[in-house]
């Protein structure tokens, strides 16, 4: 008996260098463009200076995928952090948050 692969919705927030296009293409290649609902560049600047990022910006990505792919995605993100393309990230499983009182809007 095979285990059914559950597809979950995720939110990924990245703090990256604005000029770095490798981050977006890397995420698109790993997830597949069809699973990505939205990629949004946020206008907010970080509250503090980050030395290794010359032009920091936030990138918000909403997507659906299996939990299996998430392991590969996180490994890829950690490699981008080591290469100084990214500074921080936050990955949230929105499917697991269904019972939460947090309201989720994707426009």
Name the helix (H) or strand (E) containing 95: none
Separation between Cα atoms, residue 52 and residue 28, nearest integer Å: 24
Q: Cα dist. 32→10, 17, 62, 88 in Å?
A: 14, 22, 12, 22
In 27-72, DSSP assigns E strands to 36-42, 56-66
pLDDT in tens for each of the 107 residues of the chain?
445 578 889 999 988 888 877 778 888 888 888 889 988 988 888 888 877 788 888 989 999 988 888 888 888 888 878 877 778 889 999 887 654 554 544 44
Token readout for 84 is: 């100084």
What are 85's two structure tokens?
């393309």
Domains of the chain, by residue range, sit at: 8-93
The DSSP H or E segment spanning 93 is strand 86-93
pLDDT value for 78? 86
Closest C-alpha among 32, 87, 96 to residue 61: 32
Helix %, strand %, coil % for the chain, to 5?
25, 35, 40
**93 forms bridges with which residues in the sheet?**
10
CATH (one of 2.40.128.110, 3.30.70.360, 3.40.50.300, 3.30.70.2190) for 8-93: 3.30.70.2190
pLDDT of residue 16: 86
């Amino acid at each position: 008996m095979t285990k059914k692969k559950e597809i979950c919705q995720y939110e990924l927030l990245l703090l990256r260098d604005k000029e770095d296009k490798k981050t977006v293409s890397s995420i698109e290649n790993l997830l597949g463009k069809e699973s990505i609902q939205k990629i949004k560049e946020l206008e907010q600047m970080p509250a503090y200076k980050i030395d290794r990022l010359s032009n920091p910006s936030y990138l918000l990505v909403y997507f659906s995928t299996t939990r299996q792919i998430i392991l590969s995605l996180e490994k890829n993100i950690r490699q981008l952090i080591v290469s100084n393309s990214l500074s921080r990230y936050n990955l949230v499983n929105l499917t697991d948050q269904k019972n939460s009182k947090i309201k989720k809007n994707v426009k």
